[in-house]
Amino acid sequence: MTMKSILSKLKETNAKYSMFHAMTGDDDPGDSKFLFSAKDNLTSCDMETCSGSRILIGYRPAFDATSIARMRSAGGKLIGKCNMDEFGFGTFSSNSGLEIPRNPYDLERACGGSSGGSACAAAVFEDHVSLGVSTGGSICCPASFCGVYGIAPTYGRVSRYGLIDYGNSLDKIGVISAKAGDLRKYIHVISGKDEKDPTSCAQPELKDEGRKLKSVAIPKEGVEGLSKDVEKAFEESVEALKGMGVDVERVEMPSLKYAMPAYYVLATSEASTNLARYVGMRYGQQKGDLSLKFDDYFSSFRSEYFGSEAKRRILLGTYTRMAGFRDRYYAKALKVRQVVIKDYKRVLADHDAVLAPTMPFTAPRFDDISRMSALDAYKADYLTIPANIAGTPHMSVPCGYDGNGMPIGMQFVADHWNEEVLFDIAERWEKGFEMRRPEVVG
Amino acid sequence: MDRETVERVARAAHIKLTEAELEEYSKDLNDILSYFELLDEAPDCEGFGVNPIEVADVLREDEPRMELDPDVLLKDMDTYERYVRGPRLS
């Protein structure tokens, strides 16, 4: 009954929140066991896929991403493709060439990014699971801002086949839901080896042996620069975790401060090569002036249809890969990634997870976002980037609300391939945490 | 990064910038690159890979096969006699 009811209210709900760029027109769930949505950078053969970009308008993929295909095989019905920052380039889902999702707790505020539409859908619809994609924090950030659970598994755990690449060495497909139990359930559905993505074939089996999270380490660097509301909610949550029997130790992780510049070098370097394929041929926008010469034809499309942030990141990534700069930026960033991984391994040898707030502040208003410089917006990701550059599984769980009633999240980071302890703590935390849902459509 | 460098990088990336964009990106990229100087003081390490996890040789057998019908792939492409249309080379 809930599925039919949700399908009948899809259009009016989307008119309010703009979570979907494309939606199913079918209001009959048929034999479906559950409804799901997916970030619009995952290809779907029945819905347009634009990755938040005007340059891909009109692109109707001939195949499903493996993650979407596996959700369908498990009985899922895809109801919508979720709005996002263009190609994943942003923290608030406001860098979109299409529609910008609105926070279900306050429509004047952002959902977070770049999987903002996914987190919005998970918060608004009853019994809903959404697939998100994280490159530098794009699952945990919006999960935190929209008051839901979100997990980005280990890099390589979920096949990236059918994912429109942002940064190949960073992209991870994960799950967002208002129910903690959905993280375990649906990571099991979408994970596993897929010969179409060789990185997925390197993974060990996803364990589910009842391993508990018993201890966490809180890095000094992870509790600096927080808003007062976030700091208060986080410290109260730490006390609650202690009450649940979790050991807590304060540690230092000096490498974390280098993760952010290293991330932006790697991410933009990879993005600038990935986006070279969008030239007004084969995908999306293709109606150009064929009398133009080769270079002019390509440049005319890219200049007209890429958004401002996409151009900024292409320029930055092209520069850091140029002869003369490669060693200073790209090669150094690859080394810093190893330093960050070693720092995590050192701490995780004695603890089950590293814990910090997910974001330093709650969902900002759109007018405040418009006044941020590019660098200010990049710096907002300093808590989510280290786990992403390290490829370690990480998860945001709701842990409080600020004075305006906006959700606050905390982020657990486990060692490579140890998603199991994250599932455990999310499910135990949910039993004691009083979640305040926004208006729910069911 | 001065305006000339931004122009050179934009040409390499096939992006034409307006005067206003040149101004904006020159400033933004300078701010960002100044921040990247933090990398100069980051500790070094022996060796590095391009992935955060070890990816062994997991390639499948190199056997030709066709999973998608070429006509389905071409359905939304601008084509002429099943060739993708593009600009002239010179």
Question: In chain A, what residues touch B85 (CB-CB under 8 Å)?
Answer: 281, 286, 290
Question: Does A84 score more than 80 pLDDT?
Answer: yes
Question: In chain A, what residues touch B10 (CB-CB under 8 Å)?
Answer: 315
Sign of CA dihedral B74, B77, B80, B83: negative
pLDDT value of residue A396: 98
Question: In chain A, what residues touch B75 (CB-CB under 8 Å)?
Answer: 60, 62
Instruction: Report the side by side order of strands in the sheet with A394-401.
Output: A20-23, A76-82, A34-39, A128-134, A172-177, A149-152, A394-401, A407-413, A353-357, A215-219, A247-251
Question: In chain B, what residues touch A391 (CB-CB under 8 Å)?
Answer: 51-53
- Nearest chain A alpha carbon to B47: A335
Asked if A312 lies within 8 A of B78 by C-beta distance, the reply is no
Asked if A287 lies within 8 A of B78 by C-beta distance, the reply is yes
- Nearest chain B alpha carbon to A339: B45
For A205-216, what is the mean pLDDT?
A: 94
Our CA-based measurement puts residue A190 at a distance from the nearest CA of chain B, in whole angstroms, of 19
How many domains does chain B fold into?
1
Sign of CA dihedral A266, A267, A269, A270: positive
Number of Cβ atoms within 10 Å of the Cβ of A126:
15
- A39 belongs to the catalytic site: yes
- Assess contact for A355 and A392: CB atoms under 8 A: no
Question: Does A1 score more than 70 pLDDT?
Answer: no
The pLDDT tens digits for A253-265 are 999 999 999 999 9
Position A326 confidence tier, pLDDT thresholds 50, 70, 90: confident
- End-to-end CA separation in angstroms for chain B: 32
Q: Which of B29, B39, B52 sits opposite A333 (nearest CB)?
A: B39
The pLDDT tens digits for B43-68 are 988 877 889 998 877 777 889 988 89
**Residues sharing a CB contact under 8 Å with residue B20, sequence separation 6 or more, in sequence order:** none
For A143-171, what is the mean pLDDT?
A: 98
- Assess contact for A137 and A176: CB atoms under 8 A: no
- Assess contact for A146 and A119: CB atoms under 8 A: yes
For chain A, say whether B64 makes contact (Cβ under 8 Å): no
Question: Does A71 score more than 80 pLDDT?
Answer: yes
Asked if A62 lies within 8 A of B21 by C-beta distance, the reply is no
CA distance A114 to A129: 17
DSSP letter (8 states) at residue A42: B
Helices (H), A196-307: 228-243, 256-274, 294-305
CA distance A180 to A18: 24
- A8 belongs to the catalytic site: no
For chain A, say whether B58 makes contact (Cβ under 8 Å): yes
For chain A, say whether B82 makes contact (Cβ under 8 Å): no
pLDDT value of residue B89: 82
Position A75 confidence tier, pLDDT thresholds 50, 70, 90: very high
- Give CA torsion, residues A152, A63, A200, A359, to 10 deg: -10
For A302-317, what is the mean pLDDT?
A: 97
CA distance A101 to A16: 9
Question: Does A119 score more than 70 pLDDT?
Answer: yes
For chain A, say whether B20 makes contact (Cβ under 8 Å): no
pLDDT value of residue A237: 98
For A123-139, what is the mean pLDDT?
A: 98
Would you tell me which residues 36-55 of chain B have a C-beta closer than 8 angstroms to some C-beta of chain A?
36, 38-40, 42-45, 47-55
CA distance A180 to A193: 24
In percent, the amount of chain A with pLDDT more than 70 equals 100
Question: In chain B, what residues touch A287 (CB-CB under 8 Å)?
Answer: 78
Q: What rounded mean pLDDT belongs to chain B?
A: 91
Position A327 confidence tier, pLDDT thresholds 50, 70, 90: confident
Position A384 confidence tier, pLDDT thresholds 50, 70, 90: very high
In percent, the amount of chain A with pLDDT more than 90 equals 95
For A148-156, what is the mean pLDDT?
A: 98
Q: What rounded mean pLDDT belongs to chain A?
A: 97
- Nearest chain B alpha carbon to A193: B58
pLDDT value of residue B56: 75
- Assess contact for A87 and A275: CB atoms under 8 A: yes
Structural domain boundaries, residue B12: 3-41
- Nearest chain A alpha carbon to B82: A282
Q: Where are the domains of chain A?
A: 2-256+334-432
Residue whose token pair is 């009954």:
A1
The pLDDT tens digits for A397-436 are 999 999 999 999 999 999 999 999 999 999 999 999 999 9
Asked if A312 lies within 8 A of B89 by C-beta distance, the reply is no
**Residue B65: inside a domain:** no
Class of the domain covering A2-256+334-432: alpha beta
- Give CA torsion, residues A270, A268, A410, A130, to 10 deg: -60
**Residue B80: inside a domain:** no
A206-219 burial code (b ≥16 CB/10 A, e <16): beeeeeebebbbbb
In percent, the amount of chain B with pLDDT more than 90 equals 68
Question: Does A97 score more than 70 pLDDT?
Answer: yes
Question: Does A252 score more than 90 pLDDT?
Answer: yes
Position B90 confidence tier, pLDDT thresholds 50, 70, 90: confident
CA distance A379 to A70: 35
Question: Does B1 score more than 90 pLDDT?
Answer: no
- A114 belongs to the catalytic site: yes
